[in-house]
Structure 1
């Protein structure tokens, strides 16, 4: 879900200022490209009792989850929900280019609002890298529970932390720089994104779901697999620079700016030792089936 925190580049969703749609969209597209195998693995792992026909993608961003779900479930239709008109337009253009526009409906909505628009009655709700941005997560979880068809599944996918790209001893003159940049943003994130890294299991149970499965997936993608990782690393570090800069030493800030300078011989785009290292945790939670009475199979 895209809303108000421009420091968040990772995942299908992400919150940002409206004027920053273009830069955020590029990062989200790179995220989808680089992590495509992991997204496909998660969609295949979901403990579904039948293939879903109606899916809602909450905080869809530019559609990484939407298109992975359409590919995994060829009979399904996806309602893609986001606050960003720019992201939804980009998603629609990609759907047309892929020939799946008739299977995608886009809805612009603020999921922190008390009342949600009509999103149908989906069999599956998918929320990747979006739930931790909710200002009122308990209310949002209740809304998802009420939205789902009885017996439907809710998949919450969260990055355990921002990806790391550089070796620990890089750059040569300021080893450990990347880790210090991330530590420098900790207080900012604690204030603006307090639910980052939360355990969603208890909150899902409190909202009436039964958590059927939870899995943490380790991501470790070597950078020699494609130049997209260099652009992904550059865009990601560029976007955390603003939050990190006030807490960095002048020497670290200068080293970071050199990494981000695409004309510098020391630019991160020129490195051949990059990797994408992070973890994703998935919670699969089910709404209870409709109660039956008298042993006759008649819905109550």
Structure 2
């Protein structure tokens, strides 16, 4: 097994934010529109990350049939189409709204003939016909499965002989503020994330799991593993502020019961789009996170 560590400083490299087709980035249910905004910002700010992973995949030949499980609004789908110009992607998600946006993007790119969308709940007892893909891509979706072992087994059965399964998962949610920010409440961001741990332990217990042993138990051989460290200066992209604002806004209600009044007030000041301390106005933001990737074949 190989492990590559990539430090990607100061430029927009892609990260697939959590939740594609399941719950929101912080495990809290929101409407499709709000979640789609986060997924689209994720794709915009961190697109180079996704491209770097697709280029790294240990493929024996260019895949012609790809399935994107938990595709969201299409960040992975379009990165795969760009990387593999002869491929066709079947994009699977629970959200009809996300799939509609994905189809609209495909039409705008002139790629509608290379994309098929399928609305499906991957936790259901019966999956729709997804063909026999050469590559299955699951980015930030596997940790939402109620029975990951069963889902991995189904992916194994789905793959064509010699096909590759790429699992991209969250080593941690993005952080945006410096440790000494905001003024008067330093460390607020870490406390807000800590305040959501109980919720996540209950609702997304597989977040942050080591998928290597689970893949092996499901009948895969893990051929390569990679950890990607992302560090992007906010000054490089205006979208970083919107990405930070949307991400912290979506954890606010989950974190609120465990935050003291001063922290909650400071968080609301950061989230006030018109306030002087708004995340949308700050010049000291960055995107710091990690993603872990496993590439596996049927044993």
1:146 aligned residue (145, 157, 173): 157
Matches within 5 A, 1:155-174: 155-174=166-185
How many residue pairs match? The answer is: 280
CA contact (8 A) 1:162 1:278 kept: yes
1:87 aligned residue (98, 113, 118): 98
CA distance in 2, matches of 1:96, 1:44: 24
Partner of 2:132: 121
Q: What TM-score, normalized by structure 2, do the two folds share?
A: 0.92
CA distance in 2, matches of 1:75, 1:242: 44
CA contact (8 A) 2:176 2:286 kept: yes
String of CA shifts for 1:42-91, please: whole Å, max 9, x gaps: 00000000000000000000000000000000000000000000000000
* 5+ residue gaps, structure 2: 1-19
Partner of 1:254: 265
Q: How far 1:249 moved relative to its partner?
A: 0.4
CA distance in 2, matches of 1:113, 1:262: 40
Q: Larger relative contact order (C-alpha < 8 A, sep ≥ 6)?
A: 2
Query: What secondary structure, in the 3-state scheme, does the structure 2 residue paired with 1:117 have?
Result: coil
Moved over 3 A (4+): none
CA contact (8 A) 2:28 2:251 kept: no
CA distance in 2, matches of 1:159, 1:204: 16
**What CA RMSD, in Å, does the superposition of the two structures yield over aligned residues?**
1.0
CA contact (8 A) 1:16 1:24 kept: no
Q: How far 1:16 moved relative to its partner?
A: 6.2
Matches within 5 A, 1:184-263: 184-263=195-274
CA distance in 2, matches of 1:280, 1:230: 21
Query: What secondary structure, in the 3-state scheme, does the structure 2 residue paired with 1:161 have?
Result: strand
CA contact (8 A) 1:149 1:287 kept: no
Q: What TM-score, normalized by structure 1, do the two folds share?
A: 0.92
Query: What secondary structure, in the 3-state scheme, does the structure 2 residue paired with 1:270 have?
Result: coil
CA contact (8 A) 2:28 2:250 kept: no
CA distance in 1, matches of 2:79, 2:28: 23
CA distance in 1, matches of 2:291, 2:35: 20
Partner of 2:58: 47
Structure whose alpha-carbon radius of gyration is higher:
1
CA distance in 1, matches of 2:76, 2:21: 14
